[in-house]
Amino acid sequence: MRTYDCAPTLNDTQVLEFCRNGFLMLEGIVPDEINRRTFAFLDAHPSGEPVEILKEDWFVNNVILHPEAAGAVRSLLGANFGLPVLMSNHRVQCPMPAQGWHRDGGSKYGPQQNYLQVFYYPQDCPVELGPTELVPGSHFLFSLSTYMGHYGHIRGGVKTTAPAGSIFISVYSVWHRRSASTAEGLRNMLKYSYWRTVPPQRDWVIDPDFDLATAEYGLAGPTFRQQFRDRYDAAEMYFWLCGRMSEFRLIGGQGWPHHADNFLDKPYGMPPEPLKGLA
Ligand SMILES: [Fe+2]
């Protein structure tokens, strides 16, 4: 399989933010010339799976291996991550009603991150062109797509309105849908996956000021679950990514990872500090 390595770009706070929300947006990072070339390529290859584009060096070098996107993937999947072998284009003639809420087939639930689902907008995607809508934190919530598809507006949903050249990276199981579009026109959105090939370890950008005691594990918006559960899930995913699952523990109550900004001291129930010299 084709693998790639590069410098990681995310720090601890950003990795934990990804664990909480289930996605991160990199706005407008691909050059306009490449966006236009991609748009033209997709006009010439209008299928739902234009996998031929993965053989184009200009596309691979500027989109798939873009330093910021690949650096984020490297941070979350580790060294020598596997490159995409399938390309999907969500090519839609707008206007269209909203798609049903769903998580993609093959979703597994838990802290493990062995692959990432990535989206690239080669054109501007304002709200009128029906950007993908995501529910932050929903990557931990199991529901059958057959039920989810009947939900309408979900409080806290985020529409990924973004300029051309934006890439967003998501946990595979995050709830999403194409939102309703109102404008006339064609919307392309490419979707592809990267894969882990090495065991997880904390080898992203280490932030020496990152403090496990006071880090923010909770979602800013609605969580749709029992109080503190969002914190527990995000903390567990962060520990999985650090390769420290054997040390992960939850005491419950007001123990770690409770919001600890107002605590007199460190929260009770913290996992042990890493051994000296080990990240
Ligand atoms: Fe989907």
Alpha helix stretches (DSSP H) within 132-265: 145-148, 229-242
Give the pLDDT of residue 275.
54
Alpha helix stretches (DSSP H) within 85-243: 145-148, 229-242
Alpha helix stretches (DSSP H) within the chain: 12-21, 32-44, 57-59, 67-77, 145-148, 229-242
Q: With 70 as the cut, is the pLDDT of residue 100 above it?
A: yes
Q: Measure 104 CA to ligand 1 centroid, in angstroms.
A: 5
Q: Measure 100 CA to ligand 1 centroid, in angstroms.
A: 9
User: Who contacts 186 (Cβ-Cβ below 8 Å, separation ≥6)?
Assistant: 91, 92, 93, 94
Question: Which of the four pLDDT bands, split at 50, 70 and 90, describes residue 274?
Answer: low
* 117-125: average pLDDT: 98
Residue ranges per domain, the chain?
Answer: 3-195
Q: Measure 117 CA to ligand 1 centroid, in angstroms.
A: 10
Question: Which of the four pLDDT bands, split at 50, 70 and 90, describes residue 272?
Answer: confident
CA dist 132 and 189 (Å) reads 9
The reported pTM is: 0.95
Q: Measure 125 CA to ligand 1 centroid, in angstroms.
A: 17
CA dist 126 and 95 (Å) reads 13
Structural fold of domain 3-195: Jelly Rolls (2.60.120)
CA dist 121 and 214 (Å) reads 35
Q: With 70 as the cut, is the pLDDT of residue 278 above it?
A: no
CA dist 175 and 263 (Å) reads 34
Q: Measure 121 CA to ligand 1 centroid, in angstroms.
A: 15
Q: Using one digit for the tens of pLDDT, what is the confidence trace for 53-73?
A: 999 999 999 999 999 999 999
Q: Measure 120 CA to ligand 1 centroid, in angstroms.
A: 14
Q: Measure 190 CA to ligand 1 centroid, in angstroms.
A: 11
Question: Which of the four pLDDT bands, split at 50, 70 and 90, describes residue 76?
Answer: very high
What's the sign of the alpha-carbon dihedral 249, 253, 257, 262? negative
Q: With 80 as the cut, is the pLDDT of residue 216 above it?
A: yes
User: Who contacts 161 (Cβ-Cβ below 8 Å, separation ≥6)?
Assistant: 125, 126, 127, 131
Closest CA to 39 of 124, 119, 126, 103: 124
Q: Measure 103 CA to ligand 1 centroid, in angstroms.
A: 6
CA dist 217 and 200 (Å) reads 20
DSSP 66: -
Q: Using one digit for the tens of pLDDT, what is the confidence trace for 132-189?
A: 999 999 999 999 989 999 999 999 999 999 999 999 999 999 999 999 999 999 999 9
Q: With 80 as the cut, is the pLDDT of residue 279 above it?
A: no
Give the pLDDT of residue 1.
73
